[in-house]
Amino acid sequence: MAREKPELLYVTWRRLHNILIELAYRIRDSNKTYDTIYAVVKGGLIPARIMADLLDVDEIGFIGARFYKGVSTHKAKPELFLPPTTPLNNKSILVVDDVVDTGRTLQLVIEELYRYGAERVETLAIYVKPWTIVYPDYYYKVTDKWIIYPWEIAETLKEITPPPEIFKGDLVIYRSVEGMMKNTL
């Protein structure tokens, strides 16, 4: 049976920053603070750095967990490939990822951070899929679309050819990456 092509959603750099600012306001308004922001490698790396800046959190840690093999294709279960990189004992942690799809990766990350000694773990993702089993504490929007972020254009082009018009705010970046990909293949 052929896999259905997912509907695509491209998030521009400007839109990404506006979304993260909105999420930072929500956290600030809740009066919660965090000792460390943990990025889920690799989709959470850039959003975590931006959130650390917006929330004035000095310490950023990394945890590597993966579930997807490609566009709309995932493994049987998520796997941890990088354990937590900073001490967690009695710390309040905000985990940041780009998207929560099934929720199983987020579930694994939360379990691991508690296992390594975190006192409190809360979560943030930009987008959430409607079929997830775990919702993050903070998120921007629920969508069933396949999300493309500006830091993964080349990765996406290796698998699919999105229509250029979806990159409207970053069309110059898209064209540059597309040209680079054609020159290296």
Q: Render pLDDT for 1-17 as a digit per residue (tens, 0 to 9).
A: 344 678 999 999 999 99
Q: Which residues contact 95 (CB under 8 A, 6 or more apart)?
A: 37, 38, 40, 44, 63, 106, 109, 110, 113, 121, 122, 123, 124, 136
| Residue 123 DSSP symbol | E
Tell me which DSSP letter residue 32 carries. -
Asked whether the beta carbons of 128 and 135 are under 8 A apart, the reply is: yes
| pLDDT tens-digit series, residues 11-66 | 999 999 999 999 999 999 999 999 999 999 999 999 999 999 999 999 999 999 88
SS3 42: coil
Cα–Cα distance between 23 and 40 in angstroms, integer?
Answer: 17
Angstrom CA distances, 138 to 44, 127, 135, 162, stand at 14, 10, 8, 29
In the chain, where the domains are located: 8-184
C-alpha to C-alpha distance for 101 and 128, rounded to whole angstroms = 6
Tell me how far apart the alpha carbons of residues 20 and 140 are, in angstroms, rounded to a whole number. 8
CATH number for domain 8-184, candidates 3.40.50.2300, 3.30.1310.10, 3.40.50.2020, 3.40.50.11890: 3.40.50.2020
CA pair distance 8, 94, nearest whole angstrom: 28
Predicted model pTM: 0.90
Helical packing angle, 45-55 and 13-29, nearest 10°: 50
- Pair 15, 150: CB distance under 8 Å: no
Tell me whether the omega of the peptide bond preceding residue 168 falls within 30 degrees of 0, making it cis.
Answer: no
Quick: pLDDT tens for 99-134: 999 999 999 999 999 999 999 999 999 999 999 999
pLDDT in tens, 78-106: 889 998 999 999 999 999 999 999 999 99
Q: 68 forms bridges with which residues in the sheet?
A: 74
